Amino acid sequence: MKKFFLLAIVLVSTNVILAQTEQGKFVLSGATGLQFLSSNIEVEYDGQSSGDMTQNSFTIIPSIGYFVMDNLAVGMTANFSSTTQKNEGYKTKTTSTMILPTVLYYFPVAGNLKPLVQVGAGLMSFSKENKNSENSYKDKFSGLALNFGGGASYFINDYVSLNFGVSYTMANLENSNDSDYVQKQGNFAGNIGLSIFL
């Protein structure tokens, strides 16, 4: 009798988990939630300090998906980031924005932990501004970006999962003033965040 109840609980739990990623459901995610970084760096050469440099960073990565079939969602992911560095009267600010249509697949395995993969392709813009008390210069770039990721979601309950993963983004960006000036980027990141299933 105990084995029967244990088997029934496992089957019910499995059906609930599978229902979360079934066709017609939505998933809202913060791939890495909110990230804040603030650091203070002292630069030194041959024992001589050249002053302190401060750096502040902010990143937010929201996404939405719709399950077009069981375990397969299509949607949009956005990535907004900003970093500011200050050193001895100089200020450098970089910002980037990505909008990526994405495909997300959850592997249909039993239990609360589901492996997943994600692929996205879209547009990226990047700007870098250098300032001091006398001069200011800004470069702007834009172009195609590709994103590949994988990891796992741990389903806490019927509506929420905790996500762990890694991703790689590559981009080929042209300068807005000079198309011969190209910036190629490759970024590898670890991700932790939450998803809500509706």
Q: Give the mean pLDDT of 172-193.
A: 83
- Indicate the CATH number of 2-197 among 1.20.1050.40, 2.40.10.220, 2.40.160.20, 3.30.160.270: 2.40.160.20
Predicted confidence at residue 145, as pLDDT, reads 94
DSSP classification of residue 112: S
Q: Considering only CA atoms, which of 140, 195, 121 is closest in space to residue 165?
A: 195
Residue 11: pLDDT over 80: no
Cα(155)–Cα(19) distance, rounded to whole angstroms?
12
Predicted confidence at residue 113, as pLDDT, reads 92
Q: Give the mean pLDDT of 6-24.
A: 50
Q: Give the mean pLDDT of 116-140.
A: 88
Predicted confidence at residue 56, as pLDDT, reads 73
Q: Give the mean pLDDT of 68-83.
A: 90
Cα(165)–Cα(108) distance, rounded to whole angstroms?
17
